Structure 1
Amino acid sequence: MVTVDRSPSPTYPILTYHHITPSPHRSDRSAISPTGFARHMWLLRRLGYVGLSLAMALPYLRGERVGRIAILTFDDSYVDTLEHALPVLLHRGFSATCYAVSRAIGQVKTWNVASAGSGLLLMSVDQLMWWHQAGMEIGAQTRSHARLTACTARQLRNEIAGGRQELQQRLGVAVSQFSYPFGEVNDRIAATVREAGFAAAVTARQGRAIVGGDLWQLPRLAVDQPALLPFAAKLLTHHEERRA
């Protein structure tokens, strides 16, 4: 039996999107069509949610504010996020966070080459600035999308703090949010992210973010279907935690 969360604000959904493409491959569960994404954002607004970037949502996650919000995140900074998601976000008055790999700016995706999303074009500096100037947030996803659990302490600092430095230097904007590549994190990695100056970090662990919880190991809800019913279940129930 699915339990609906009717309490005012014990938890908040952090939604994970990857790329928004008109021709999603059936084998790529990280791809959503522009129509599907637009319907998701329509439902959010219909249900009374405001879509926020992670930085704008932090007062809610710390318990300083209360409201009906959903936190919108996009991993990897694909060009199609800019082309297909940004117009919808602006139309609905939402903000979102997009995480960039500092040494892959303007290139194609080369990690996880077995996935259907391999070879997709990533945003350039100009495109990331377009995203930022539209009122959206840019976060970091390391220098090279490395598997952090295999890194030494020195390599961790290079990937995490170095990636943040590179993004800030190339873009000229503050970068305060982090996404763990492949969702891989442990306490040692999370501590390095915190020491690097990030205000919060998101994982691939399925679940809703608890108010007052660990801001450097935030769970998310992966959006992998365009249909509205599964999307509504992610927003309104604890089904994902039970499934995980």
Structure 2
Amino acid sequence: MIGIFEYFLKKEIPILMYHRLINNENGIGKNTIYLNVEEFEKQLKYLKDNNYITITFKDLYILSKEDRKKRKYIILTFDDGYKDNYDLLFPLLKKYNMKAVIYMVSDEKYNKWDVEASGEKKFDLMSKDEMLEMHKSGLVEFGGHTLHHPKLNTLTEKEQKHEIEENKIYLEETLGEKLCSFAYPYGIFNVTSKKIVKELGFNYGLATDSGAFYIDDDLYQVRRIGIFSDITMSKFKRRVKGNYNLKYTK
């Protein structure tokens, strides 16, 4: 059991994990990795009204441990690079002057991995020009997410390195700067995956619901907090307090 004082005293920067935003029923898929854009805007407004500051992993990397405690920082991450991130997320980031990190699958035009595996509806990924526009705004940082979104633990070391490295090369050449973080597709990986991500020069490797409570305890298995279609505002408020993951890591 976690002591009541320990629960309220321990804090860490919340890292939220989103995927798709929707604005009509056409965006509803079999998987629940979507959120209505109106609900997302309510979340941004709550963060703004409560003095949260959105940062990226490049921002985090240069923040000292003492500086992290002085403000209410939070990181918003979006996996896969869906076109709705450009159409719906980007305007809201500009409206509220907030930042996000998008993990981009670079060698697919749509969510082929989900369509083939589970019969999910087809949802387009953003174009190169859309990605560049978001990057140049200074509000969006892009991270690695492989070429084709495989389950890395099913691949050989050579295959894993190809998926991760070629994705990194393409994104860095396109954006004109070094990537800081990588997100494991599905949150699935193994020791080899973590080794490759570290050796390729990423500063962080992001998981989903695994990893330590504190980010610095394992930079290559950083735990995130999933935000899906069933997250009410009351649930959201609990998830951004800074101690939400503590109950899962004890």
Q: TM-score, normalised by structure 1?
A: 0.88
What is the aligned partner in structure 2 of residue 228 from structure 1? Answer: 233
Counterpart secondary structure, 2:240 = helix
Structure 2 counterpart of 1:34, one-letter code: V
Are 1:164 and 2:168 matched, yes or no?
yes
Q: Determine the C-alpha separation between the residues in 2 that align with 1:117 and 1:88.
A: 27
Q: CA deviation at 1:241?
A: 4.9
Deviations 1:172-212 (A, max 9, x none): 33322111011012222111101011111211125785153
Letter in 1 for 2:17: T
Unpaired segments of 5 or more residues in structure 1? none
Q: Is the 8 A contact 1:139 1:178 kept in 2?
A: yes
Say if 1:98 and 1:138, in contact at 8 Å, map to a contact too: yes
Residue 15 of structure 1: aligned partner? 16
SS in 1 for 2:177: coil
Which moves more between the two structures, 195-204 or 206-215? 206-215
Number of corresponding residues: 240
Distance of aligned partners of 1:71 and 1:220 in 2 relative to their CA distance in 1, 3 Å threshold = same
Which residue does 2:33 correspond to in 1? 30
* Sequence identity (%): 25
Alignment of 1:192-231 (within 5 A): 192-205=196-209, 209-224=213-228, 225-231=230-236
Structure 1 contact 125–171 (Cα < 8 Å) conserved = no
Partners of 2:246 and 2:118 in 1: CA distance? 25
Q: Which residue of 2 aligns with 1:80?
A: 84
For 1:144, which of 142, 148, 161 is the aligned residue? 148
Task: Report deviation, 1:54.
Answer: 2.1
Give the TM-score, by structure 2 length.
Answer: 0.86
1:70 aligns with 2:71: no
Instruction: Give the corresponding residue for 1:57.
Output: 60
In the alignment, the residues of structure 1 paired with residue 93 and residue 161 of structure 2 have an alpha-carbon distance, to the nearest angstrom, of 34
| Larger fraction in helix | 2
SS in 1 for 2:143: strand
Provide the C-alpha distance between the structure 2 equivalents of 1:29 and 1:81, rounded to a whole number of angstroms.
16
Superposed, 1:87-98 pairs within 5 Å as 87-98=91-102
* Contact 2:152-2:160 at 8 Å conserved across structures: yes
Counterpart-to-counterpart distance in 1, 2:242 and 2:218: 21
Alignment of 1:116-195 (within 5 A): 118-135=121-138, 136-195=140-199
The residue type equivalent to 2:218 in the other structure is: D
1:99 aligned partner: 103
Closer, same or farther: CA 13–222 of 1 in aligned 2, 3 Å: same
Residue 41 of structure 2 contacts residue 92 of structure 2 at CA under 8 Å; is this kept in 1?
yes
Partner letter of residue 247 of structure 2? R
Q: C-alpha displacement at 1:131, in angstroms?
A: 1.0
How far apart, CA to CA, are the structure 1 residues paired with 2:67 and 2:119? 40
The answer as to whether partners of 1:20 and 1:33 remain within 8 angstroms in 2 is: yes
Which residue number corresponds to residue 45 of structure 1?
48
Q: Which runs of 5+ in 2 are unaligned?
A: none
Moved more, 62-71 or 158-167: 62-71
Q: Secondary structure at the match of 2:168?
A: helix
Alpha-carbon contact 1:101-1:141 (below 8 Å) kept: yes
